């Protein structure tokens, strides 16, 4: 299959809907070990992305879609997720630069670029109980999957999901929750949970 | 069941608040042309003066916007509730306050703020404006002494910004203002206690639970969990716990001077803050320290959270002079 | 289940608060020798000046004690929480501030305050000190227009005291200060809304019930029931209800000037007060009125009650001059 | 029987204990139509009275006891009740001036003086839903009773009790509750309720 810019625009709209639906649940998760606003940022950010993308034509190239999404997310959100996802989306845009449509092989490249962008901006490593603990396993699974765009994303989504669950056993050493020490144990990281949702929606929509 | 707030749509709360602030304090403040979330002192920035830009999430008013004005901060970048502002308003602040002597960013040490302000600083560098950064880390509850630099910035911002703002107002160089800001930060320690949660305007739900007889020592100003949770104690016992920690950190010698801030988190009456101050001053006297100046009130809040914090700034001659220097902000003045 | 407060014994709360206030503001305030509940401005009373004595129950801080200082009140008599002070501290205030030109008592119109201050005035008369009294009655919700003189005094005290204090500071005669005070009172109207109850330090119980989605329009600053109870509305709708009533009462003409106070009752964040101010100013503009000055914050509280009030003072040249006149109080300044 | 100053001191101690026990209940009543502090003032005031009277000798004359009580109540309380009860107690003291012990005939005089003092200071009339609606019927019943000190007080107490109950049917036109209009209906006046308690304790102790 071939994924167009319009497909990506559709995927972002689905992500926006998902984050809006999960907003309060993500806030509640963040309330346990953070400041209770993660769902607001994600819903606001992808809502702004959807609106900005609606201005683009259906013939927009994937890179343009991803760069527009990055800028819209960042200006709307700030917070921790703004720079992290903006950088991730910029990197994703760079990874597919010049392509009009994305082929199966690009799926793993997209996820890897997102993970790298987040790691670059946030300076976290896997195991520190952040969204990276969903994105890094997702990138690894995508790399290993080697199938259709949809199959690659499905593998990534499953790995992200497992990674997010695993954060419950981690003690945070990065971000707000780091100050909690052992009290962060037993709670999933909200950013990892929303990352798994995001990748899950990608897998459902880009097929 | 939604929490009760006098707001319109939750999503509009920050922008409507800023409208209301500019309507009340239009003599002191204005919004930057480039960003409605960049609030600039009318009578602050000037050629040759280091520009001081502060900022962070909303919900802590009068921090940050209330401390913009001549003699203190030149501008504040305003984020959503409890969320760092994106780089754009921070960059707009830089552009507005740059007087050719460089700009200093000061804000609390939170991952989100660091990433966003750093991006803004990079963008400013591309416009050849030198931006330096000093993070505030006054919350002694947020990390042990061997990891001081990872601590959060909380109500002590007030003193740290004040000192740096006065230094800039004295026309010190960027290096000097940065030195003062770091020195002020090292000398400022805060310890807080929360009695109730707060709620975000967009969710109208309590952002954490606290039992009916409980308090949390060291809770962050965004409701981040603190050091320990326990039964509510009498005021004097709470203050003693705070002062013990602050004295440990401060390492002041008998005869030294301090400035004191007894800060309310939003829903705690002045009556309680002054009752706390009574004990704070008794402890300072007992420690042989001299109180140079005291502020009591809501200076750094967490929306409608009930609770309070105590901040002590360990003064030297320079800091005392800078704290005393007049300033004229929308929500705070020294005359 | 006791309400949460940072206090020691409830019975000691007022005295410990006053200790804390004097420790923080000893440069501006002192206690009278004759009564620890009589708080006097160090730099206020002077020969030939009318002495202005305000007072009432505690729990409304910064009202009353915070408005003592040069240019505003010369002294405040402090009662227990929500209870008028007895005659003794009021008499001690009179003795401290009498400069030979007479003394004016100003306080909110409550039966208890009237009886106690009247007794103090009688005692002062026996010492040949002339004391006149002006009651504040700004709460439009507390009685219909045909019974204005029975209304309660609430947050509008702030403007009314300020005008009278400035008149005394200008060395007007007792007759003139009294005239100004009455005029200021007639020109000042307040309307409030409560979102939560408060609790007395001695009982630690909520002093009334309010449903989880309810607000009460016109509730008094001691939790006295108001005009009507209904579902919580958006900020703009609440302000509109307030402003409609205030406009009715004020009878101002297009082009007239007003001073505005958006006051928090204790637990309402500045964010909400500024959102209210946005609408207040929009309504004033629509009515063709000019805002001469705006204050937003906690000026007259009800312990930890959530809620807010809006006060408009309809200015004329004299009132505008008096409101603008500098004053230097412990918790309020005009520069 | 003959009532001495020491008996009055004992009666005030019993009133102090009663008001302390009923403090929160009286505050709750005041919360319904007032500012929720009535019990605090009564408990504080009679607590201060008890302490001040403890300084007096057992041979103190009734007038001295009543005057001391008046001053102690007033300084401790302020509020509405301070001037009202201080004036009442002053009047009571004046009514028995010069007597070392009180005789049966003085019981009605005491209650009448208290009622007059309250009416004088507060300028209220019966029917306005205040403590007068307990004190005025009490004075009338005492006047009519014509028996021993204890019998007179018992009649006064019963009338005060009935008077306090009747305030539930009154619309307040005086004091804080006046601003309530019809919303004051159905609630007993806290000052009338505490007055009935006070007279009840007098009847129990001065026998
Ligand atoms: N340095 C970092 N690297 C990667 N992810 C991070 C980092 N810091 C925070 N996060 C992620 O951000 C999430 C919190 O996001 P959010 O609540 O929106 O921001 P904030 O912490 O500013 O309130 C955390 O759950 C974590 O997954
Ligand atoms: N003018 C008055 N005359 C007689 N009793 C009064 C008057 N005003 C108030 N009261 C009584 O005082 C009671 C309230 O007392 P309290 O709550 O202690 O004082 P406050 O109203 O100052 O809070 C009322 O219930 C009423 O019985
Ligand atoms: Mg968060
Ligand atoms: Mg946040
Ligand atoms: Mg009262
Ligand atoms: Mg009362």
| Complete edge-to-edge strand list for the sheet that includes strand B188-194 | B228-231, B214-217, B188-194, B307-314, B257-264, B290-297
Angle at D29 between CA D23 and CA D35, to 5 degrees: 90
Would the pLDDT of B1 be above 90?
no
CATH superfamily of A3-205: DhaL domain (1.25.40.340)
The mean pLDDT of C90-115, rounded to a whole number, is 97
CB contact under 8 A, A78 and B222: no
Pick from B267-281, B285-299, C182-196, C217-231: least confident: C217-231
Residue of B nearest to C8 (CA): B234
Provide DSSP, C294-330.
Answer: EEEE-SS--TTB-EEEEEEEE--HHHHHHHHS-EEES
What residues are paired with B261 via a beta bridge? B295, B311
The residues of C that are catalytic are 60, 222
Contact flag C83-D39 (C-beta cutoff 8 Å):
no
- C-alpha–C-alpha distance, residues A156 and A115, integer Å: 11
End-to-end CA distance of chain A: 8
Measured between beta carbons, the chain C residues lying within 8 angstroms of B17 are: 270-271, 274-275, 278
Q: Within its chain, how far is the Cα of D155 from the centroid? A: 15
Q: What confidence score (pLDDT) does residue A174 get?
A: 77
Distance CA B21, CA D129 (A): 46
Residues with CB under 5 A from ligand 5 (ion): C 82-83; D 35, 37
Candidate from A22, A26, A38 with most ligand 1 atoms within 8 A of CB, to mutate: A38
Q: Do B8 and C277 touch (CB under 8 A)?
A: no
pLDDT value, residue A146: 84
- Cβ(D82)–Cβ(D45) under 8 Å? yes
Whole-angstrom distance, CA of residue C332 vs CA of residue C61: 11
Instruction: Measure the N-to-C terminal CA separation of chain D; round to a whole number of Å.
Output: 8
D64's CB contacts (< 8 A; 6+ apart) are D5, D56, D93
Cα D168 to Cα B191: distance, rounded to the nearest angstrom: 51
Distance between Cα A37 and ligand 3 center (Å): 4
Please state, in angstroms and rounded to a whole number, the distance separating the CA atoms of residues B62 and B158.
10
**What's the count of helices (H) and strands (E) in chain A, helices before strands?**
8, 2
* Residue range D117-164, pLDDT digits in tens: 999 999 999 999 999 999 999 999 999 998 999 999 999 999 999 999
Q: What is the pLDDT of residue D183?
A: 79
Contact D166, D139 (CB under 8 A): no
Dihedral sign, Cα of residue A28, residue A29, residue A32, residue A37: negative
Q: How many residues are there in chain C?
A: 335
B 167-196 residues inside an 8 A Cβ radius of C: 193, 195-196
CB of C305 less than 8 A from some CB of D? no
C81 touches chain D (CB under 8 A): yes
In this structure, are residues A162 and A206 in contact, taking their beta carbons and an 8 Å threshold? no
Residues whose CB falls within 8 Å of the CB of residue B239, separated by 6 or more in sequence, listed in order: B276, B279, B280, B283, B310
Chains A and B touch (3+ CB pairs under 8 A): yes
Q: Rounded CA gap, C143 and A202, in Å? A: 63
Hey, is C106 helix, strand or coil? strand
CB C101, CB C173: distance < 8 Å:
yes
CA-closest candidate to residue B303, choices C332, C59, C60, C273: C273
Interfacial A residues in 143-202 facing B (CB < 8 Å): 174-180, 183
Most distant CA pair in chain B, distance? 55
Q: Over chain C, what is the mean pLDDT? A: 97
What are the chain C neighbours of B25 within 8 Å (beta carbons)? 294
- Distance (Å) from CA D90 to ligand 5 centroid: 22
What pLDDT score was predicted for residue D192?
98
Contact B314, B158 (CB under 8 A): no
- Mean pLDDT score across all residues of chain D: 94
Q: Is D161 in the pocket of ligand 2 (CB under 6 A)?
A: no
Higher per-residue pLDDT: B264 or D179: B264
Q: Judge whether residue C64 has pLDDT over 90.
A: yes
Residues within 5 Å of ion ligand 3, judged at the Cβ atom: A 30, 34-35, 37-38
Round to whole Å and give the CA distance between C33 and D52.
22
**Which ligand 2 atom is at minimum distance from the Cα of D118?**
4
Residue D180: its pLDDT value, please?
75
SS3 D130: coil
Q: What length does chain B have?
A: 335
Average pLDDT taken over every residue of chain A: 94
Given a cut of 90, whether residue D179 has pLDDT beyond it is: no
Check if the interface score ipTM surpasses 0.90. yes
Cα-to-centroid distance, A190 and ligand 1 (Å): 8
Whole-number Å distance, alpha carbon B161 to ligand 6 midpoint, is 45
Determine how many CB atoms are found less than 10 A away from the CB of residue B308.
Answer: 29
Closest CA to B158 of B47, B279, B39, B293: B293
C-beta of residue A206 within 8 angstroms of C-beta of residue A141: no
The string of DSSP codes covering A59-128 is T--HHHHHHHHHHHHHHHH-TTHHHHHHHHHHHHHHHTTT-SEE-TTHHHHHHHHHHHHHHHHH---TTS
Which of the four pLDDT bands, split at 50, 70 and 90, describes residue B71?
A: very high
Nearest CA to B89 among A77, A84, A65, C275? Answer: A77
- Give the whole-number percent of chain B exceeding pLDDT 90: 97
How far apart are alpha carbons B92 and B17 in whole angstroms? 19
| Angstrom distances, CA of residue D82 to CA of B150, C86, D87 | 57, 7, 8
How far is the first Cα of chain B from the last one, in angstroms, to the nearest whole number? 45
User: Taking a C-beta distance cutoff of 8 angstroms, is the pair B36, B18 a contact?
Assistant: yes
Backbone angles phi, psi at C249, to 5 degrees: -75, -35
Query: Which tens digits make up the pLDDT trace of C119-157?
Result: 999 999 999 999 999 999 999 999 999 999 999 999 999
Angle at D186 between CA D182 and CA D191, to 5 degrees: 95
* Residue B321, CA distances (Å) to B104, B166, B175, B289, B326 in order: 20, 9, 19, 18, 10
pLDDT in the model for residue A182:
80
Measured between alpha carbons, how far is C272 from C262 in angstroms, rounded to an integer? 10
Give the helix/strand (H/E) hosting B30. strand B29-32
CB atoms within 10 A of CB D120: 12
pLDDT in the model for residue A34: 87
What's the predicted TM-score (pTM) here?
0.96
For residue D82 and ligand 2, the question of a CB distance below 6 A is answered with no
Contact B52, C310 (CB under 8 A): no
- Percent residues over pLDDT 70 in chain C: 100
Strands B290-297 and B257-264: parallel
Q: Which of C133, C91, C144, C88 is nearest to C110 (CA)?
A: C133
* The pLDDT of residue B274: 98
Compute the half-sphere exposure of residue D140: CA atoms within 13 Å on the CB side of its CA: 11
pLDDT digits (tens, 9 = 90+) for C165-207: 999 999 999 999 999 999 999 999 999 999 999 999 999 999 8
List of long-range contacts for B173-178, beta carbons under 8 Å, 24+ apart: B173/B50, B173/B101, B173/B102, B174/B50, B174/B101, B174/B102, B174/B103, B174/B104, B174/B130, B174/B132, B177/B50, B177/B52, B177/B104, B178/B104, B178/B132, B178/B134
Task: Name the residue among A73, A20, A70, A61 with its Cα closest to residue A197.
Answer: A20
Regions in chain A scoring below 70 on pLDDT = 1, 175-176
Could you give the 3-state DSSP secondary structure of residue C259? strand
CA C282, CA B20: separation in Å to the nearest integer? 10
pLDDT band with cut points at 50, 70 and 90 for residue C227: confident
pLDDT at C226: 85
| C315 near B CB under 8 A | no
Average pLDDT rounded to a whole number, residues C240-266: 98
- Whether D181 has a pLDDT exceeding 80, the answer reads no
Q: Which atom of ligand 1 is nearest to the CA of A30?
A: 17
Read out DSSP for B114-144?
Answer: HHHHHHHHHHHHHTT--EEEEEE--BGGGS-
Say if residue D174's pLDDT is above 80.
Answer: no
* HSE toward the beta carbon, residue A162, CA cutoff 13 A: 12
CA–CA dist D82, C87 (Å, integer):
9
Q: What is the DSSP string of D142-183?
A: HHHH-S-HHHHHHHHHHHHHHHHHHGGGSPP-SSGGGGGGGG
Average pLDDT score over residue span B223-227 = 84
Asked if C85 contacts C79 with a C-beta cutoff of 8 angstroms, the reply is yes
Of B23-37, D91-105, D168-182, the poorest mean pLDDT is in: D168-182
List strand residue ranges (DSSP E) for chain C, in order.
29-32, 35-41, 51-58, 69-70, 75-81, 103-108, 131-136, 188-194, 214-217, 228-231, 257-264, 290-297, 307-314, 327-329, 333-334
Q: Contact partners of C by the rule of 3+ C-beta pairs under 8 A?
A: B, D
Considering only CA atoms, which of D172, D175, D198 is closest in space to residue D186?
Answer: D172
Atom of ligand 1 nearest to the CA of A77: 18
Record the tokens describing residue D84, joined without a space. 């009202």
Domain residue ranges in chain D: 3-205
pLDDT of the residue at B14: 98
């Amino acid at each position: 299959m071939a994924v167009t810019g319009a497909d990506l625009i559709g995927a972002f709209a689905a992500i926006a809907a998902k984050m809006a639906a999960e907003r309060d649940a993500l806030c509640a998760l963040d309330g346990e070990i953070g400041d209770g606003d993660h769902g607001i940022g994600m819903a606001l950010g992808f809502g702004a992305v959807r609106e900005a993308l609606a201005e683009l034509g259906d013939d927009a190239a994937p890179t343009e879609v991803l760069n527009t999404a990055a800028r819209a997310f960042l200006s709307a959100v700030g917070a921790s997720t703004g720079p992290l996802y903006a950088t991730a989306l910029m990197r994703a845009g760079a990874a597919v630069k010049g392509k009009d449509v994305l082929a199966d092989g690009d799926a793993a490249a997209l996820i890897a670029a997102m993970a790298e962008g987040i790691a670059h901006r946030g300076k976290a490593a896997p195991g520190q109980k952040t969204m990276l603990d969903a994105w890094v396993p997702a990138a690894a699974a995508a790399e290993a999957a080697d199938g259709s765009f949809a199959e690659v994303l499905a593998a990534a989504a499953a790995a992200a999901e497992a990674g997010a669950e695993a954060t419950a056993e981690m003690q945070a050493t990065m971000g707000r929750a780091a100050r909690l020490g052992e009290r962060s144990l037993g709670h999933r990281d909200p950013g990892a949970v929303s990352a798994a949702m995001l990748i899950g929606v990608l897998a459902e929509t880009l097929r | 069941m939604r929490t009760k707030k006098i707001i319109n749509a939750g999503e509009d709360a920050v922008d409507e608040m800023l409208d209301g602030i500019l309507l009340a304090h239009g003599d002191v403040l204005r919004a930057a042309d480039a960003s409605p979330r960049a609030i600039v002192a009318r009578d602050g920035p000037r050629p040759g003066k280091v520009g001081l830009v502060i900022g962070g999430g909303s919900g802590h008013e009068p921090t940050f916007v209330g401390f913009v004005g001549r003699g203190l901060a030149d501008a504040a970048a305003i984020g959503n509730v409890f969320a760092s502002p994106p780089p754009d308003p921070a960059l707009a602040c830089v552009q507005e306050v740059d007087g050719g002597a460089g700009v200093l960013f000061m804000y609390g040490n939170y991952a989100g703020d660091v990433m966003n302000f750093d991006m803004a600083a990079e963008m400013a560098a591309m416009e050849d404006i030198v931006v330096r950064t000093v993070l505030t880390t006054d919350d002694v509850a947020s990390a042990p002494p061997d990891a001081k630099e990872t601590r959060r910035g909380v109500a002590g911002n007030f003193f740290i910004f004040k000192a740096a703002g006065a230094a800039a107002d004295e026309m010190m160089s960027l290096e000097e203002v940065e030195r003062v800001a770091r020195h002020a930060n090292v000398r400022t320690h805060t310890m807080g206690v929360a009695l109730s949660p707060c709620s975000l305007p967009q969710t109208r739900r309590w952002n954490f639970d606290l039992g009916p007889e409980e308090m949390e020592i060291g809770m962050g100003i965004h409701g981040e969990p603190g050091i320990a949770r326990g039964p509510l104690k009498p005021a004097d016992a709470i203050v003693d716990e705070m002062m013990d920690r602050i004295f440990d950190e401060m390492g002041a010698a008998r005869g030294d001077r301090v400035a004191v801030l007894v800060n309310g988190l939003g829903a705690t009456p002045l009556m309680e803050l002054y009752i706390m101050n009574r004990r704070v001053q008794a402890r300072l006297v007992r420690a042989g320290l001299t109180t140079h100046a005291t502020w009591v009130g809501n200076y750094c809040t967490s929306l409608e959270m009930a609770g309070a914090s105590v901040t002590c700034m360990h003064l030297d001659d320079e800091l005392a002079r800078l704290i005393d220097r007049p300033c004229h902000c929308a929500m705070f003045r020294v005359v």
